[in-house]
Structure 1
């Protein structure tokens, strides 16, 4: 049956209330029988158990305390369950309003909603269509009864008007709120566009829609979000709870902004070490003593078990492009949290392709955007009519995404001026650039037939980019020892030479500078340079502690600060930092992702900046950095078309292709090899600086003009092929003759002739690099699956792959090589020749795979557990040992990437085929030992529970059956042992931090406040005593209880040695034991008082 479409607002009785002091009262349903019970009434576990004044009347009180605790826990779970129930009901009402609103905007949303396989959503759509049809039918009939086609209007009756007023009254929650000035609850003035952004967020909330606030960096997205949460609290009377997830670097900034703009909102920052987080969770989070919980991405992963218990009103994610990959751990975990609405904050909503945009929309509205294939297919099917697709995408994005740029809304902020400075390389940089290219000259040439891996090309790219920054990033490049901080630090890098001239000019002009680099080791060099030039500086990189970041930012921003330079890494220093006290930004190198560079620029170019911001981007001329910059410009143009103008991207490569990397490496390589020298960078004069600045302006304008003319279709086809177009001519065909334009290495330098024998051998032995391997390289076989024994592929798969590889070797005429002695095989020549002959025989007699075998291979490749790596397998073994081989849920807690159903499927195959694993007995032994330990713990747990159930108040009445050998060496009193057994029953006989918890109980208990011996026991010593007591209790219930346990006696001997008990002096010098006397005299251990009152004060052992 279709669900009822209720539009009534949530009952006022279900909303959190405030008392006279505006303190939030815990939300308790009014119809609950336990509505008057408060969490504060829940007693401590030891309120009655550890009271030294416990009497017979408090024995019954102990049972009452446990009952009250059980009821309180039950009440807590009941309240959380009802909150989730109310939230789900509100979400259903929001879904109905959302579908009606979206379908009213455009019928395009019907296509996305109907692709959702959820039958409940289909029922809602059916009911909406039925009600719409009924409304149209009533309107049609009313029009026909009104008399003719024109239909005269008639006056409403009193009953009709009353009915309509009643409907409007019931829809009181549908009234819209529009702010025309800064709300009174915000302690400050919002700009006009920020008020418009607040109204947009309010409209989203009133229509049950989640959205993306995608304003350009520096427009106050944080303030708009805080103002919206204030609207929820003070206008809608929704106090929360809200969850705000932000980068770790911006935690303190969010806390400050809340305290500055709306201090009435109670904030909880969930961050810190394990102990601090545990305190915050117990005292603040679980008690709901907050309105907004601010935490970091890392804490979401670590504390997910606590955070997912809550029914959140809003989940807000800052820098939301972190969840653009729906397969990431953060994205998957945060989707498990239950919330009524979600808000994403990002200045870079699109970084690579349209699928990432879908991932954000799917997180916001999974009931609307539930199928990525349908989303992608919707665009790919519209290739014939590009304009229609553009218009439709714009209509789809408009309700969810608000994107504004500074130039449109913030008129008081001067536009930033970007300038690309094309810097020549120094002589040392040219030499190192040549070395890198010569080392892999075959990969650089990329000749036909070469099968160079993309990883190898990426490594070359990385090394070339390091060389463009500074040659001292390579080991052995810096002259020394002794190493000195001198002018060579400047003139050996072209970028440093230009930077040195620029900084002198900027300091004279009264400017302050931010310098960004991707490499923290570049910051090390810049730090030495600042010390050398006496520039005061601050620094932030990925290793900077959170407190040090805050101190550095405050130190740089404070009035009258003497800090001239701020050194930052692009990724660590480009998020959530306000550095408007600087007006010059230097990008020492460019990031692959242009959005990261934009984030870095906007640390200075944001609200509050009074000067014009100038951005200088260093680009090494005739080198790989020019191509990196071109690719960044392509991505920025794509973002402008898709997000800011509502255009679609159909096909975009997620990563740089191998051909693109090859084109980047080859760019400028011929010039580097052909150049004798580019001149030393220290010869750059002031006139050269002016020339570089002027050329930079010209080339920056030229690059911008080039990409302004490219449309969506041009960008989709854009790749390194554009490098073959010059002066309007297409030179693509010449690429086929790449052998003709082969890049030759630099000319060989004549070696110095040594006539001294010592010098000759010294030069001959100093090879300075890898020895070339003259043997023919083994050609690569067809792509094969790496088969590991723990993945349990069908047994015949390896044979089929070996057969296919042998045929490939036969086809290309490959001859088996003599096995290398370093491969771990036999060193005998005869054995190696025999192995070579066997391999060659297999190649000579190889036959290709038949069609049936190829199909069988493809089928077998899909039957194994290819997604199980070695780490997963090892965690499976450890989890089976820890929880037992059939506890799939428990094992799943050990394996982060697997669900219980996957583990069950794998375990069934494992226990059938474990003999196929190499050295499987080692893994079975681990599992058997773990299960044996688990059985022993379960047995001890049962025996302990059985023992304690024999007494009404175990802490006072429990009797422990010590053996005589135990009594002779006993250093713990029976009162202490009883307490340990009760604590073991409370916390379990095994668990993380068990004995630390028991030690804390000992220290907090008033029973032992004067028992120095018991208070001074370490967790290790407490653990040994607990093991002894558990064995004693278990031995008591054994059927052969008359036998003696020598193993237990040995454990007790070790325990006695560790405890080092105090001996009592007697007249004849012999030591006596009061417990032995008490036992012989017929006295029971229960009457023995605490050691704190019985030990003689002159004891040489423990001091009291």
Structure 2
């Protein structure tokens, strides 16, 4: 086996690690001699230029990036000719392409004799039957493969199999055998109504799977950044009042507003314009070249922009938007990995300010159900990729069937769903501390990953906005706080410098 999966969490420097590994393969190799000579980097369209920029940043003139950032046939042909040609003083060349461009020109790429392929945001290859996944698998000459993804599991274990089968073909067997041996028992063991025997078998199979995969996978979570980066806080707020509060209390802070829908971005853009807040916008209408330039402009402290309107589909992956230290998820995504990817745009290496991340959810609506579904999916991902310990099986199948029931009277359906006994007041401060201590003890004993593993169960549960650790609420009107904010989940344990995530 020559492949590997780099599954570090978002913002932990997968790009830098990949570039360092690539340069080692191109120069010193494993035995003091170059191990590869014709590398290919594949990535989403929005990241093609960024990869060229990162190669220049870290390697300077040591390599020659050949960036295919234009899908027109004449440009692609010219780029391929440049990659094949001798020159540049014998410096190694690195071919950088988007997944769609590679799929369209795969036949010609196959003939280049590439000997290593590195796939960024490898969850784009989660469907083993998709044309792009099969196209990458067809790179027979590139036996050395590195697949990078902070979210190698987004929905189910078949996606994990697809990614791993590209990196290490045959390691996990075919999909049918994998489902029978691993996915089926693991999923049944995680059901709310699973028998003790099913739970035990599921944990055993999960441990076997991770023992096998960990030989070829490196996974570290964002907890390693807690000593180096400012604390990250997630809260539910009312957007307009929040932005006014930020402007009043922290006028130098910048905000990223993320939505899955361009129509919503239109509304948010109009709101910013009505208040005179300078705003930039990055969505699918921006060309690949424009996207990186726009991000660089927004990141500049000298630029007056206060808000970046960001389409999660166009810019929610891979971009470094550390010029902002506040991010608002205006609407939730059914796929938790998409929201996690969006969050990681601001809370990552290079950030110098404390980061605040907010989700806006309508209490008792389908938006809360989406959040609950996210928690169920994240539990599976954490169980397999992050830890093999016993998981809290928070939602049963019947509870998931209630997705479309609306409760206009509840202040927070999620708080009821997790069956938490706290009242959401400062009087429950001790119970918040106890949850954090219990999670930390479990992590110390190797039985879990602390409050991060427990999800919202280990966060502070607040029925009053003023109890939030975010001082911005002091600048928000009493009318908004008392009439429109019914509940807040915060991953900050009140009164402590330690944070739960």
Q: TM-score range by the shorter chain?
A: 0.7 to 0.9
Matched, 1:419 2:235: yes
- In the other structure, the counterpart of 1:905 is none
- In the other structure, the counterpart of 2:67 is 269
Matched, 1:212 2:212: no
Deviation (angstroms), 1:304: 1.0
Q: Residues 698-737 of structure 1 correspond to what in structure 2 (within 5 A)?
A: none
Structure 1: distance between partners of 2:351 and 2:219: 21
Deviations 1:399-425 (A, max 9, x none): 11111112125521123101134xxxx
Is contact 1:627–1:667 with CA below 8 Å preserved after alignment? no
Structure 2: distance between partners of 1:320 and 1:250: 13
- In the other structure, the counterpart of 1:535 is 277
- In the other structure, the counterpart of 2:347 is 605
Deviations 1:601-632 (A, max 9, x none): 11100011111111111001222211111111
- In the other structure, the counterpart of 2:433 is none
Distance 1:692 1:246, change over 3 A: farther
Is contact 2:40–2:95 with CA below 8 Å preserved after alignment? yes
Deviations 1:519-576 (A, max 9, x none): 1011111112221111111101122112221221121112311010000011211111
> RMSD of the alignment, in Å?
2.9
Q: Aligned match of 2:129 in 312, 315, 327?
A: 327
Deviations 1:34-90 (A, max 9, x none): xxxxxxxxxxxxxxxxxxxxxxxxxxxxxxxxxxxxxxxxxxxxxxxxxxxxxxxxx
Deviation (angstroms), 1:346: 0.4
Q: Residues 167-246 of structure 1 correspond to what in structure 2 (within 5 A)?
A: 209-236=2-29, 237-238=34-35, 240-246=37-43
Structure 2: distance between partners of 1:608 and 1:551: 18
Q: Aligned match of 2:241 in 488, 497, 501?
A: 501
Q: Secondary structure at the match of 2:403?
A: helix
Structure 2: distance between partners of 1:211 and 1:623: 42
- In the other structure, the counterpart of 1:551 is 293
TM-score by length of 2: 0.74
Distance 1:622 1:326, change over 3 A: same
Q: Secondary structure at the match of 1:663?
A: helix
Structure 2: distance between partners of 1:701 and 1:610: 19
Q: Residues 704-1103 of structure 1 correspond to what in structure 2 (within 5 A)?
A: none
- In the other structure, the counterpart of 1:516 is 258
Q: Residues 615-694 of structure 1 correspond to what in structure 2 (within 5 A)?
A: 615-646=357-388, 663-668=402-407, 686-691=477-482
Q: Residues 294-693 of structure 1 correspond to what in structure 2 (within 5 A)?
A: 294-338=96-140, 339-379=142-182, 380=184, 383=198, 385-409=201-225, 411-421=227-237, 498-508=238-248, 509=250, 510-646=252-388, 663-668=402-407, 686-691=477-482
TM-score by length of 1: 0.35
Gaps (5+ residues) in structure 1?
A: 1-97, 99-208, 422-497, 672-683, 703-1104
Deviation (angstroms), 1:241: 0.2
Deviations 1:136-168 (A, max 9, x none): xxxxxxxxxxxxxxxxxxxxxxxxxxxxxxxxx
- In the other structure, the counterpart of 2:82 is 284
Deviation (angstroms), 1:293: 0.5
Distance 1:502 1:278, change over 3 A: same
Distance 1:512 1:670, change over 3 A: closer
Distance 1:693 1:260, change over 3 A: farther
- In the other structure, the counterpart of 1:174 is none
Q: Aligned match of 1:249 in 36, 39, 46?
A: 46
Structure 2: distance between partners of 1:275 and 1:511: 44
Structure 2: distance between partners of 1:533 and 1:348: 37
Q: Secondary structure at the match of 1:603?
A: coil
Deviation (angstroms), 1:347: 0.6
Q: Secondary structure at the match of 1:620?
A: coil
Distance 1:698 1:375, change over 3 A: closer
Deviation (angstroms), 1:693: 9.3
- In the other structure, the counterpart of 1:28 is none
Is contact 2:236–2:489 with CA below 8 Å preserved after alignment? no
Is contact 1:580–1:604 with CA below 8 Å preserved after alignment? yes
Q: Secondary structure at the match of 2:487?
A: helix
Structure 2: distance between partners of 1:376 and 1:577: 34
Q: Residues 12-27 of structure 1 correspond to what in structure 2 (within 5 A)?
A: none
Structure 1: distance between partners of 2:477 and 2:157: 47
Deviation (angstroms), 1:644: 0.2
Q: Secondary structure at the match of 1:560?
A: coil
Is contact 2:26–2:35 with CA below 8 Å preserved after alignment? yes
Distance 1:381 1:642, change over 3 A: closer
Q: Secondary structure at the match of 1:553?
A: helix
Residues paired across the two proteins, number:
402
Deviation (angstroms), 1:661: 8.1
Deviations 1:1016-1066 (A, max 9, x none): xxxxxxxxxxxxxxxxxxxxxxxxxxxxxxxxxxxxxxxxxxxxxxxxxxx
Greater fraction of residues in strand: 2
Structure 2: distance between partners of 1:517 and 1:215: 25
Is contact 2:48–2:68 with CA below 8 Å preserved after alignment? no
Structure 1: distance between partners of 2:130 and 2:46: 21
Distance 1:690 1:667, change over 3 A: closer
Is contact 1:592–1:628 with CA below 8 Å preserved after alignment? yes
Distance 1:665 1:241, change over 3 A: same
Structure 2: distance between partners of 1:530 and 1:239: 51
Deviation (angstroms), 1:277: 1.6
Is contact 1:394–1:647 with CA below 8 Å preserved after alignment? no
Q: Which range moved further: 332-341 or 402-411? A: 402-411
Structure 1: distance between partners of 2:7 and 2:86: 31
Larger Rg: 1
Structure 2: distance between partners of 1:336 and 1:698: 46
Structure 2: distance between partners of 1:609 and 1:295: 28
Is contact 1:416–1:615 with CA below 8 Å preserved after alignment? yes
Gaps (5+ residues) in structure 2?
A: 187-197, 411-474, 494-501
Greater fraction of residues in helix: 1
Distance 1:330 1:546, change over 3 A: same
Deviation (angstroms), 1:647: 6.3
Structure 2: distance between partners of 1:360 and 1:322: 9
